[in-house]
Structure formats: structure tokens, C-alpha cells
Chain A
Amino acid sequence: MVLSFFRGGDRGLDHVVTRSVAMVTDARHSFDLACTALMSGADPASIADDVRETDLRINANEQRLRGELAVHITVHGPNDIGEVIGLILLLKKIERVGDHAKNILDLAESGVSFAAEPDIDELLEERRVVSGFFTEASEILAEHDGAPVSFRERVDSMVSQIQSRIDGYMTSEQPGHQVVPRAVYHRYLKRIVANLNSAVLAATEPVRVADNSD
């Protein structure tokens, strides 16, 4: 630890970005596992420990990185305030994604399973697309060099699509045991996608840009 003073390396904020990318990877892991419990027929109990440990790890990382951001501001002064605000938001959003993944697991643990349902292929495809958003978000955070318009457009489209499904469930005449779990699941899914979008937005545009040339 003492040697950390002598060794060279990333600036503090680079370190936080790297760790936040790892947090997105953890959140994806939780999401994929929780969906497996809900959609594959696997025993949720066999997955629960992994999801909860991953969620704890995400929460612990969030707390630690917030502390590191406080250190950064204290040492460097307000020069990086825009980036720090963005990173604080980013960490919060990723933490919320982790929480919603855990909520999906809770749904599976309460006895809900879509494994044998007729719309399983549709649900699996939806899950695959959302899981892909995690990867894209990680890449944007790690490599970003411009506004990720296409990502945001696709995410916005997915949010609208999920909201339409939820609206459909609200007015459906199908039995409650069929539509309620789907409505709850899609509510969590929508929050996950929206938080991923917000995380990318927080990282790429932490404060509203006031440009005199506009």
C-alpha cells in the first residue's frame, strides 16, 4: 500500500472509470443469472447466493468509489467537478441496475417461472438484447470518444417497447397469475434499461453543456 505512492499509474478518475466498468460487468452477471432463474426452470436457490454476493460486491464498490471520488476532489480541487458529478451519478445508476437484477431473482424465488410459458422465446430474445446493452454500456464507458447516439436510440426504443408491454398487461383480460408476474418483471426490466441509459448519459454528459457558440 505504501508503494502506491511511488508507482506510476492511472489518474484517480481513470481508476474509478475502470472500476465502474467492472461494476457493469458484475451487474450483467447478476441480471443474466436472475433471468436464468426465471426463464430456464433452474432452482433459484442454486443461483441466489451468487446474485446476492455480486450485488453486495456492487454496493461495496459503489461505496468505496464514492470515497475515492471524495479523495479526488479533496486533493485536486474543483478542476474535475464535472467528471466527478458524472461518476457519482454513474455509480448510483449501476448500483440500481444491480438492485433490479436482485428484484428479478426475488420474483423467481417467490415461485414465478416463465420456462414453460408459450412466450418464452420472446422473453429470452428480450433478455438477450438487454444483456447486450450491458456490454455496449461497458464499452462506451471504457472507450467512449463521442456521443453514443445509436445506443441511446436503441435503448429508448427498447424502453418504449417494454412500456407498451406493461400497458398491455394492465388492460389484459388474461388471468392475474399470468399478467402480474410479467408486468412486474417488465417493470424491473424497464428500470434496468433506463438506468443503463442514464449511466451512459451521466458518463458522457454529466452536466448540461452550456456552449456560448450555440
Chain B
Amino acid sequence: MAAGRMPTNFPDVARPLGGPDSRMPTGARATLVVGLIYLFLVGVSSLEAGIKIMGADTQERLFSAVSNPIAGLCVGILGTVLVQSSSASTSVIVGLVASGALGVDQAVPMIMGANIGTTVTNTLVSLGHVRQSAEFRRAFAAATVHDFFNVLAVLILLPVELIFRPISGIAKWVSELLVGSGGTEWKSPVKKWVKEPVGWLKDLWDQLGASGNVKGALMVGTGLIIILLALALVTKNMRALVADRIERSLNAILGKAGGLVALVVGMLVTIAVQSSSITTSILIPLSAAGVLTLRNAYPVTLGANVGTTVTALLAALAASSPDALTVALTHTTFNVAGILLLYVLPFAREVPVSAATLMADLAVRRRVLAVCYVVVLFIVAPLLGVAILR
């Protein structure tokens, strides 16, 4: 046993299989992660190829529902709530834009919706503390501060974007700087690497007799499964790889009010584990226990918002259209703009915190309100939005 380590009295068989402490060597796990990221890119490319196989009419039928920006926002929320991962939903949106089925204008509200939808995970985690009033108040406030920030950012930035297009404009400018204009195909090096396995998938469905829309739908379905599976495994393995680093980083911000540091820590952890839900959900039990204050947890969630956009940027590497990169960059630009508006300005910074504190106080007095809040914000309101505005 290494010096300084205490013996544990629990046998290794008690450890959860594949859990963060399972005994895969670091090098092997890192290699596995690289392979899974490659698989994820294959999934995005397969999705793009599947949509392209479908005819323009089918694409029109499928995506006309999101031509209304509010409906698009609601679809973004619902889709993300369904897969519990904005990384997955934004990657799918990037794939759809790459295929040409979705325009940048349609995709931007969906991306904003994904930002709201991803907060459902930590809000659900906070409900686990419902039996202890004091814990629940802290946990629910820490969870809903993320909700309120994202909803406020959308309330402010979506109308501005619809009228003046500043966010997609900046993203497009950066995208053009990097890969050229939106009308052309760009030669992504990653695209070449994933072309071969996507070709195998096409051949497989050909051999099984699929063609036309059916083949396209099968390619899309395969792509979606690969994306979700690969991302889930990347997240799990990266969490195991960087658990000690996450622990050190969180310890560094315990009890300290350094907003910028907490923000950067949230971003780094999220980039590392490829999931903002993991980062924000870790904060909930710590907030519930009173280890982390609401004001310390808040900037970590904002960093997580920015960090999670890296997955969509990664997905854009496998796409053939510069518009896909534009949409991925829109996600980043939107989150950075949200921070500039609602965190950098001191008076605005207090708005999500006060709203979350108030909401938590109400939820502690009437627990059913907490459940209603989750159901209405993440399911009922977006469903109504899609039903009415499509």
C-alpha cells in the first residue's frame, strides 16, 4: 500500500463495474475514449448521410414544424430533455444542418432550447433532497439558478437574434474565417477519416434490401444510436479519467467566491467529461450539504454552459457544410453572450440568484410546486409550444 493511504475494508467486488474507480489502466481508457470520439463522429456523419439520402420532400415534411422559431426552441427543449444531454441534441442539430435539412436560422432557436433542456438533469437530481427542507432549499436553488439563467438568456437573446442576428452573425463570421463561406463544401480532414465506416453502414443497409427513405431513416437511426451510445461512454470514461482532477478543481473553489475561477473550472470539467449535466449535477449534493454556496455554484454552471458547446464543435468537424460549424459556434457565442449579459453586469448577476432563491423558498413550502415547475418548464410548455406553433 502506498504511503499515506489508508486501507479500505471493502473488497473490490463491491465496486460498481465500470465505475469511476474500476481498474482499467489509464492509457487503455484514454485510447478507448479516442476510439469512442471517433465513433461519435461516425454517428454524426451517418446522421448527415441518412438525411441526405431522404428526398427533399421528406426533409421538408420532417422539419417544417420547426420553421417557427418558438416551436424550434420548444423542440430543442424537448429533444434535450428526452436524451438528457445537450451535447447529444446539439450534435444531432449540427448533423441536420450539415445535411441541409435544417437552415442556420431554424437551428439557432433549437440550440437555445437545448440549453434550457439540459438543466432538467440537475433539477431532477435536486428533487432527491425533497425530504429535508434545508437541504432541499439549497439543492433546488442551486439547480434552478441554472434554469433561470438559461431561460433569461433565451428571453433576452432570442428576440434580439431574430431581429438583428448578432449571435449567428458573429458565429458565421468566425466560421468563414475558419473554413470559408456557407454555400460551399469544406474539406474537413475528419470527414475523410469517417467516410469509410459510414460507407460500410450504407452497404449494410443496401445488402439488407433497404433503399430510399427507408435506408435514409435507418442511417439516421443508426447515427442517433451511435451518437448517444458513444457520448454516454465518452462521458463515463472521461469522468473516470479525470475524477481526481475534478475533485482537486472543486476543492479549489470550495468556500471561495472567485467567480471567474469557478467559471473556468466549470468549463474545463465539462469539456473534460463532455457533459454539462455531469458538472451541474455534481454541484447539487454539495450545495445540499452546504459545502458549496449558491453564489459559488452559479458560475460553475455558467462555465458548464460554455464547456458543453465543445461537443457540437467536435461534431461539426465531421460535417461537410460550413453552416454546421456556424451553428456549433452559435451555441458557444450564445452562451458567452449570456454570461456577458447576465453575469458580468453585477446587477444582472443577482437576478437568476434571487429568482432561484425565491423559487426554492416556494418549493420548500409547497413541494408539489417543485414537481409542477419541472413538468411545466420541461414538458408541458414545450409540448404546447410545438402543438400550437408548428
Contact = CB atoms under 8 A, between A and B. Distances in A.
B255 A67 contact: yes
Interface stretch (B6-14, B178-186, B205-213, B360-368): B6-14
A144 B6 contact: yes
Contacts of B350: none
Given A2-B268, A144-B6, A71 B250 contact: yes
A11 B244 contact: yes
B251 A12 contact: yes
Given A70-B286, A71-B250, A206-B9, 9 more contacts: A4-B252, A6-B245, A7-B248, A17-B4, A17-B5, A67-B251, A79-B21, A80-B21, A143-B3
Contacts of B289: 70
Contacts of A11: 244, 247
Contacts of A110: none
Interface in B259-295: 261, 264-265, 268-269, 272, 282, 285-286, 289, 291
B282 A64 contact: no
B246 interface: yes
**Chief secondary structure at chain A's binding surface:** helix
Nearest to B249: A5
Contacts of B254: 64, 67-68, 71
> In this complex, which of B8, B16, B253 has the most chain A Cβ atoms within 10 angstroms of its Cβ?
B8
A14 interface: yes
B286 A74 contact: yes
A76 B20 contact: yes
Interface in A145-162: 145
A136 interface: no
A178 B254 CA distance: 49
B15 interface: yes
A120 to B, nearest CB: 39
11 contacts: A2-B264, A4-B245, A11-B247, A12-B248, A13-B5, A74-B285, A75-B250, A82-B8, A83-B6, A83-B8, A206-B9
Contacts of A5: 245-246, 248-249, 265, 268-269, 272
A142 B3 contact: yes
A18 B4 contact: yes
Contacts of B258: 1
A86 interface: yes
A205 B10 CA distance: 11
Interface string B138-171: 0000000000000000000000000000000000
A203 interface: yes
A72 B19 CA distance: 14
Interface string A55-92: 00000000010111011101111011111001100000
A206 B248 contact: no
B56 to A, nearest CB: 47
Contact of B1 (A72, A145, A207): A145
Given A2-B265, A70-B289, A80 B8 contact: yes
A71 B252 CA distance: 11
A138 to B, nearest CB: 11
Given A13-B6, A204-B7, A75 B255 contact: no
A103 to B, nearest CB: 28
Nearest to B271: A5
B16 A2 contact: no
A204 B261 CA distance: 37
A75 B251 CA distance: 11
Interchain residue pairs A-B with the least CB separation, the first 9: A1-B252, A79-B21, A12-B247, A67-B291, A5-B249, A4-B248, A4-B252, A70-B291, A82-B8
Interface in A192-214: 203-207, 209
B243 interface: yes
Contacts of A86: 6
Contacts of B282: 74-75
Contacts of A18: 4
A209 B9 contact: yes
A9 interface: yes
Contacts of B245: 4-6
Contacts of B2: 14
Contact of B21 (A6, A17, A71, A76): A76
B255 to A, nearest CB: 7
Contact of A207 (B3, B9, B21): B9
Interface in B1-49: 1-10, 15-16, 19-21
Contacts of A145: 1
Contacts of B1: 145
A207 B8 CA distance: 9
B243 A75 contact: yes
B282 to A, nearest CB: 5
Given A67-B291, A76-B20, A77-B19, A206 B6 contact: yes
